[in-house]
Structure 1
Amino acid sequence: MTQQEFNQLLKRYLEGKTTEQEDRLLAEWYETPANQVELSLSEAQKVGIEKRMWRSLQTRIRPAGGRRTIQLAWLSGIAACLVLGFAWLYSQSDTEPEPRVATLVREQTGIEVKNTNPSEQEVTLPDGTTVLLAQNSSLVYEKTFNQARREVYLTGEAFFNVKRNVAKPFVVHTGELDTEVLGTSFRIRQNEKGKTTEVSVRTGKVSVYARGKNQQRERNGVIITPNQRAVYDASTHTITPGIVEKPVAVQSGEKKTALVFREASFEKVLAELTRLYGIEFVISNPTVKDCRITADLNGLSMFTQLELVCKSVDATYEKRGTVVFINGDGCP
């Protein structure tokens, strides 16, 4: 039996148009050693296919009038055969499964918000979460949002200020990338062609991970915190963590950091910057730690502040992922 003939037979079987002899042919096809192939499907995909097949089989073995009786062993063979067949069709498909967001819009079970204005549009979700939707961006969520789960589908760019709820994590689906939080503020920016997606955190902690066909109990993902970002490349399926271009102050409480230093150690200056921005600094050469700094850093961006203090002790800095390394030979 060719694959095309087998596909046609499967279709006729699900429509209830096969004979008992053809049902047995399906089972015999499955038992052939040449057809025992491994398929690169996730466990969830295999379980989903199997459930669909068993529902179909249960309909077939309980026809009106109860005329057909099928032995359990033979029924299991048919089920395995159907799972294998549909899994093969799935793995050989030239197109990816239809995104959930498209299904929601088509079935009209979701609510879609599009921003066609030149400025950001504020959207308030049923749980109190606010979303600043950028121009030409769209957001889709189910009508049952916040009843059992909190999930939204983003195309474009948006800034989220998520209402905290430890019982219901908030998940943003952006193409293949998922961003999951309990309650925090962050921005997601997807480029026009969807090849890269960037997630940057303002407050709180965010879990960013990519979905893959073969992933079961392991996912490609990272945890990012304030002033950190993660960039997902859809072409290579990689996530690269880093530091945002313009870090902002994230300290909490009433006490504000006074960035005026007089003969302060270089180590103390960096400690104040860490407290203000939440970014880790590592001094490669211990002799640089005790170099003295006199400076007023108020009103400057973080990387300008860092550039000034490094030059004053004849040092340089480089970003390595989410950490900044300081290199220098010692005090001038």
Structure 2
Amino acid sequence: MNQEKLSKLLDKYKKGELSQEEKIVFAQWFHTLGKDIADPLPTEDEEKEWTKTNWNKLLTNLDVQDIQTVPTQTPSYFRWWAAASILLIAGLTLWYYISSTTKNTSTISHIESTHLIEKINNTTQVISLALEDGSSVLLQPGSTLKYPTNFESTQREVFLTGEAFFQVARNPEKPFLVYTGDIITKVLGTSFTIKAYEKSLSIQVSVKTGKVSVYKTVDQQKKSDSENVQTNALVLTPNQQAVYHLESKELTKGLVHNPQVMDTKEATHQLVFQNKPLTEVFDALEEAYGVEILYDQHVLAGCTFTADLSDNSTLQDKLTIICKTMSGSFQVTNTTIVITSKGCN
């Protein structure tokens, strides 16, 4: 009896479609484990161990070719086939539950079982760590990072609890993965910050440069290693962040709280305007911060703007100044800034 046949028979049992012969098979399954109906049923705490102990034995010892070959007269089994099958179903259900929940963490457990260096920042200062691939990590106080002395040939994997800023050395052939609770951050080479404190209700990944992919650990288990970025992954670019909410287990995408100019020297120089059309002003801000700004070109046609926005003020402050000149306002929607205006005064 292989697992496929067993599954089909279990399905028929749940639908109440078992024939008398099939009911006998259920009794024989239980009997092959050396159990009698007089044996005490396992308690809830014992079910897990019972299932683990007997599953392989169940499949190994049984070799029922076809239901039709089972004897149709086994009177002693009829008295307890129901109790036996119910116990078996309960055990198998628990086994499937255990299998599905441990599957998601099996890969990570295997990785963590190898020798890892553990750095715990018990100080009040940021600690700088240098990894063997040329990447660097700024580990915040109260945070822990686990990483191998030497990375594998196929990928680079580290484990973070707390907060850290990563400057990852680019290597397209060996992706860099950061495991933080229920999510994984995957990059080839970029800089980003992860906040994943144990008592926090969320995990945050914010990108400074480059591009990263963030997805749930459970999604990785649904994909084969040969497939590309996970279907449910969020791809983040500079000034974008992903937030994983632990209670709802939802992963959302948006702008960071305080977007920064991506290229300080060149981009800052472009933020000085003298009677420039507002369309050019917004284009310059989009390029400087890497954000999308939506507005009605028809409404803003003919509007000009004069100001020096190359200071250290926030993007929100700069947008506020601009909106005052055109009787408008702005709103952040996910990763987009939407401008609303009645036109120039």
Give the TM-score normalised by structure 2: 0.69
Q: Judging changes above 3 Å, is the alpha-carbon distance between structure 1 residues 7 and 256 closer, same or farther for their aligned structure 2 residues?
A: closer
Q: Deviations over 1:221-248 (max 9, x none)?
A: 2111111111111222222111111111
Write the mapping of 1:96-245 to structure 2, written as runs, cut at 5 A: 107=113, 109-212=115-218, 215-216=222-223, 219-245=231-257
Corresponding residue for 1:11?
53
Q: Deviations over 1:307-332 (max 9, x none)?
A: 10011111100001111000111112
Q: Deviations over 1:278-324 (max 9, x none)?
A: 11100046312431112122212211011100111111000011110
Q: Deviations over 1:160-216 (max 9, x none)?
A: 000000100111111111111110000001143253111111000111111227844
Unaligned stretches of 5+ residues in structure 1: 33-84
Q: Judging changes above 3 Å, is the alpha-carbon distance between structure 1 residues 140 and 100 closer, same or farther for their aligned structure 2 residues?
A: farther
| Mapped partners of 1:126, 1:158: distance in 2 | 17
Q: Give, as a single letter, the amino acid of the residue that structure 1 aligns with 2:201.
A: K
Q: Give, as a single letter, the amino acid of the residue that structure 1 aligns with 2:210.
A: G
Q: Give, as a single letter, the amino acid of the residue that structure 2 aligns with 1:327.
A: T
Number of residue pairs matched by the alignment? 275
Corresponding residue for 1:288?
300
Unaligned stretches of 5+ residues in structure 2: 1-26, 31-40, 69-90
User: Would you say the 8 A contact 2:194–2:206 is kept in 1?
Assistant: yes
After the TM superposition, list the runs of 4 or more consecutive aligned residues in structure 1 that deviate by more than 3 angstroms.
1-10, 27-32, 85-88, 92-105, 213-219, 252-256
| Mapped partners of 1:228, 1:30: distance in 2 | 59
Give the TM-score normalised by structure 1: 0.71
- Please provide the CA RMSD for this pair: 3.6
| Mapped partners of 1:273, 1:136: distance in 2 | 36
Aligned with 1:160: secondary structure?
strand
| Mapped partners of 2:58, 2:208: distance in 1 | 63
Q: Judging changes above 3 Å, is the alpha-carbon distance between structure 1 residues 245 and 10 closer, same or farther for their aligned structure 2 residues?
A: closer
User: Would you say the 8 A contact 1:187–1:199 is kept in 2?
Assistant: yes
Alpha-carbon shift at residue 109 of structure 1 (Å): 1.8
| Mapped partners of 1:255, 1:293: distance in 2 | 18
Q: Judging changes above 3 Å, is the alpha-carbon distance between structure 1 residues 7 and 329 closer, same or farther for their aligned structure 2 residues?
A: same
Question: Among the aligned pairs, what percent are the same residue?
Answer: 33
Corresponding residue for 1:323?
336
Q: Deviations over 1:18-73 (max 9, x none)?
A: 699x802xx559989xxxxxxxxxxxxxxxxxxxxxxxxxxxxxxxxxxxxxxxxx
Aligned with 1:309: secondary structure?
helix
